Amino acid sequence: MAKPDWKRRLLVLAVVLVVLAVPLAWFGWYKFFREVDQPQWITGDPTMNFLYGSIGSESEAGMPYWIVVVLPRIFGDQYLPGPGGYASLGLPWEQGREFPAGFSKKTVGFERVAFNCALCHATTYRIDETTQPVIVAAGGSHTADIQGLLEFFSKSAADPRFNADTILTEIDLAYRLSWIDRMIYKFLAIPLTRKQLVSQGEDFAWADSRPRWGPGRDAPMNLTKFNFLGLPQDDSVDNTDFPSIWHLNARVQEGRTWPEEDYALEADFAKLDIDPSRLMLMNLAGDTTSFRSVVIDSALGLRAQNTPFFHQRMRDLEEWLRELPPPDYPLEIDTELAASGAQHFESHCAGCHATGRDNRMGTVIALEDIGTDPERTNAWTREAADGANAKVAEFDIQRTPMSKPERPGYIAMQLDGIWLRAPYLHNGSVPTVRALLEPARCRPDTFHRGYDVLDAGDVGFVSRSCAIASRPPPDGCELETVQPKCVPAGKGWKYDTREKGNGNRGHEFGTALDPDEKNSLVEYLKTL
């Protein structure tokens, strides 16, 4: 008996839909979700992987590749500080590379660009003005203007020229998209990216009412409080320098530890079966209890996704950074003078900064002892720590808890590669090691940071403005600076220690040494 006509038609329709659904589903997967591994030159080299490798944030936070390419060409004259595209923001950029360090390019359906750890932890130096910059992975970037980068994106997105016609016309000058990709960019990629960047600008608007971060800094705890947790805004200022993150194993002191991988996620140390007084603390003010926690939280801040790739990437990063040595000082060292300085290091510095001993390194030095600017440590609260722990637990990610030390202060840091970690103190308020050995009132009130030529004499980077290079020191100060150079006009960013959170007081250890003793100590520190 023949099937009713309506049943036959329904069956035909179902077959047609299935036939159409399969290629449509494949097309959707291929154009929007298909993941392609990055090339071997990135993934096969740990350094390249750190500088340019994915941390798993492209699907959530990645911007379409061609939009990232053409934005500086369209909006650079108005919203970037100078020529050179993203490099004008102080982002380290190797010759021959497509993007600066910290930009990861990966195909997730289409080519996307996201950010990784090197955006804040790749630093550069030059021996003099004529040499090419040397890029060092895992150093704290002293030149990258992250606030400027965020503002460039948000201001560009708010500009009426951020539209499909303008952007596609600029893309056409470099590359001819296929018709399908052109339609994806026109109707999806460009409008959605604009919406995302405008929203991002609104999310970071709180930073406009505070002193600028400037090159080499961000506001890590307020970023956590206001952006990651959505806590009510306060008037705190926590502008903080990016620290170096190399050679982590050298930071583990005798009798101290970081918890191992298999631990419970608890905000209360009492439940961890770990003596908190024996922990190696991280995050400059001791707010984080292991390096693994720092890596995970930083990646989540860049909107990395909780995937098997993410967890493996975090483990690989930590393992590599544990062993990665700091770079050697690239200039000649007076070994005899350095040997003399080693004695002064033992007398004035080793109790907090010598590695491999049972001393105060990795512990919080209370504000009343260290005397440095309190804004950064006071910006973090126990409420924020508990909120961050709960938020990460929601992602089903295991890491040691963030906390709030009972006595606010700053942790004593190891000094390896100290020659490449200027400016100094947690907020980058002292330009050179030699200046740090002077009483606070004798340190410069203003200087320029973000210039990458080494100051071979004072240790740090050339930081004095040429316009004020000959200004005499304050009365009673006998700073015998060796620095013969100054920052050229138009280079660097003026840092003012009188702004909130930028204070350069405190840490007056070794300031009573005579000038020759200070010079020998500076020479010794070049060897670390």
Would you list the domain boundaries of the chain?
1-29, 35-218, 240-525
The stretch 436-442 carries a mean pLDDT of: 94
Lowest-pLDDT range, 136-150, 352-366, 473-487? Answer: 473-487
pLDDT in tens, 284-323: 998 987 888 888 888 888 888 888 999 899 989 989 999 9
pLDDT band at 400 (very low <50, low <70, confident <90, very high): confident
Return the pLDDT at 33: 86
Return the pLDDT at 243: 94
What does the block give as tokens for 462? 């050339």
Chain-centre distance for alpha carbon 49: 16
Return the pLDDT at 355: 85
pLDDT band at 263 (very low <50, low <70, confident <90, very high): very low
Return the pLDDT at 278: 66
pLDDT in tens, 151-187: 999 999 999 999 999 999 999 999 999 999 999 999 9
Lowest-pLDDT range, 42-51, 151-160, 311-320, 414-423? Answer: 311-320
Per-residue pLDDT for 264 more than 50? Answer: no
CA distance 106 to 111: 6
The stretch 447-476 carries a mean pLDDT of: 83
Return the pLDDT at 38: 97
pLDDT in tens, 320-338: 999 999 999 999 999 999 9
pLDDT in tens, 221-239: 999 999 999 999 999 999 9
Per-residue pLDDT for 262 more than 50? Answer: no
CA distance 21 to 13: 12
Residue 370 CB burial class (10 angstroms; 0-12, 13-18, ≥19):
buried
Q: Tell me the C-alpha to C-alpha distance, in Å, between residue 267 and each of 380, 395, 407, 462.
A: 15, 16, 17, 43
Per-residue pLDDT for 505 more than 80? Answer: yes
Lowest-pLDDT range, 102-106, 111-115, 306-310, 457-461? Answer: 306-310
Question: How much of the chain exceeds pLDDT 70, in percent?
Answer: 89
Neighbours of 85 (CB within 10 A): 18
Return the pLDDT at 442: 92
Lowest-pLDDT range, 47-51, 298-302, 480-484? Answer: 480-484
Residue 156, H or E segment? helix 146-158
DSSP state of 269: G
pLDDT in tens, 238-253: 999 999 999 988 877 7
CA distance 22 to 19: 6
- pTM for this model (two decimals): 0.91
The stretch 355-376 carries a mean pLDDT of: 91
> Mean pLDDT, the chain, as a whole number?
89
Per-residue pLDDT for 7 more than 50? Answer: yes
Per-residue pLDDT for 254 more than 90? Answer: no
- For the chain, the straight-line distance linking the first and the last C-alpha, in angstroms and rounded, comes to 93
CA distance 377 to 426: 10
CA distance 279 to 265: 16
pLDDT band at 423 (very low <50, low <70, confident <90, very high): very high
Return the pLDDT at 257: 67
The stretch 94-114 carries a mean pLDDT of: 96
Return the pLDDT at 357: 83
Q: Which residues, at least 6 apart from 155, have a Cβ–Cβ distance to it below 8 Å?
A: 75, 78, 79, 201
The answer to whether 88 and 36 have CB atoms below 8 angstroms apart is no
pLDDT in tens, 187-207: 999 999 999 999 999 999 999
The stretch 334-356 carries a mean pLDDT of: 94
pLDDT band at 477 (very low <50, low <70, confident <90, very high): confident
The stretch 64-69 carries a mean pLDDT of: 98
CA distance 438 to 471: 17
Return the pLDDT at 509: 95
Q: Where are the beta strands (DSSP E) in 441-497?
A: 446-449, 493-496
